[in-house]
Amino acid sequence: MTKLALIGAGPMAMAYAAVLKDLKADTRVIGRGEKSAAAFKEKTGLDVRTGGLEDYLGSGEALPDYAIVSTPVDALAPNTKALIAAGIKNVLVEKPAGLTPEETQELADFAAAHNAKVYVAYNRRFYASVMAAKKLIAEDGGATSLRMEFSEFAFRIKDVPTAAHIKSQWLYANSTHVLDMGFFLAGYPTDISGKQAGGSDWHPAGSQFVGHGSLENGGLFSYHADWDAAPRWMVEVMTPKRTLMFNPLEKLNERSPEGFAITPVELEDDLDTRFKPGLHAQTNAFLRGDSTDLATIASHADHMENIYKVIRGA
């Protein structure tokens, strides 16, 4: 039985707990306060060791080989570093792993220096819809183009009690869900050009984002977001044989070149209905050591600096 430390006791950690129980992992949950621990226990049935990560690592308890970090965004990188320094070499950290490209690169360098395997939990890569599309794209000979939209619910986000320094990095912290999914399916950019406009008190870098570029296979991509308008997340991948459409991202539809009819793609999505979508397959891959579709911290740091930073702007 795999032994694992789950760091955090919030809603996302609760989603992981349901998956880990199904996978029969021997899970030690590490939290801070008694209130969140009680809520976690009521929801999952699992006890929480309170006092925080530093207290746990300094307690002398035998440490597991695996850890999942599911804490507030600004604590992800420090907590991951602390686990690595303590000797845990296999870590799955919630996205975006670091609040900025610089913090993410520092974490990647730290992991490399300690020979640790750190993966960033972009669970949308493991949606049943994405796995089905990945297979179809390969059968069709690859993507010819990619289109993405990542508009956010700005009217809601501005009033949530999230710390200002986290909200100011919202494109990194949240919008990269969509961007990672699209590029994971179609391929990564060899060049990218972007423009930004607008902005707000909570996200001064911008509220409209438009750009385009070339993919590594020679195809083209474009993206668009307007956080001041009616929001949605959308990904479309075009191949020589079909257009694959994700809207919502959990569902997959296709349109053939012969007509305009949109047809649902049948999915084997039992795990996505029983658990938070993508989380079971992602966690299972991590525990089995199958890194085929996992985002390494090194690749993610590269994407933060050379893709997402261009999209967000200064």
Q: Identify the pLDDT of residue 278.
A: 98
Mean pLDDT of 289-302: 98
Q: Is residue 284 part of a domain?
A: no
Phi, psi of 130 (to 5 degrees): -70, -40
Q: Identify the pLDDT of residue 257.
A: 85
Kindly tell me the sign of the dihedral angle through the C-alpha atoms of 42, 43, 45, 50.
negative
Q: Identify the pLDDT of residue 230.
A: 87
User: What's the CATH code of the domain at 165?
Assistant: 3.30.360.10
> Which of 90, 121, 152 finishes a domain?
121
Q: Identify the pLDDT of residue 160.
A: 87
Q: Identify the pLDDT of residue 19.
A: 98
Q: How confident is the model at residue 159 (pLDDT cuts 50, 70, 90)?
A: confident
User: What's the CATH code of the domain at 33?
Assistant: 3.40.50.720
Look up the pTM and report it: 0.95
What are the start-end ranges of the E strands in 105-163?
117-121, 145-150
Is 165 found in the same domain as 63?
A: no
Q: How far apart are CA 268 and CA 288, in angstroms?
A: 21
> Which of 121, 143, 166 finishes a domain?
121
Is 77 found in the same domain as 134?
A: no
Q: How far apart are CA 150 and CA 142, in angstroms?
A: 23
Q: Is residue 61 part of a domain?
A: yes
Q: Is residue 169 part of a domain?
A: yes
Residue 196 is part of which domain span?
125-275+297-312
Kindly tell me the sign of the dihedral angle through the C-alpha atoms of 267, 289, 173, 299.
negative
Is 145 found in the same domain as 111?
A: no
Is 308 found in the same domain as 192?
A: yes
Is 100 found in the same domain as 12?
A: yes
Q: Between residues 119 and 256, which one has the greater pLDDT? A: 119
> b/e string for 198-207 if b means 16 or more Cβ within 10 A?
eebebbebbb
Q: Is residue 285 part of a domain?
A: no
pLDDT tens, position by position, 169-198 = 999 999 999 999 999 999 999 999 999 999
Fill in the DSSP letter of residue 75: G
Q: How many domains does the chain have?
A: 2
Mean pLDDT of 201-223: 96
Q: Is residue 240 part of a domain?
A: yes
How far CA 282 is from CA of 74, 129, 299, 308, in Å, comes to 23, 14, 17, 23
> Which of 121, 149, 174 finishes a domain?
121
Mean pLDDT of 42-58: 96
Average pLDDT, the chain: 96
Structure tokens at 91: 């870590």
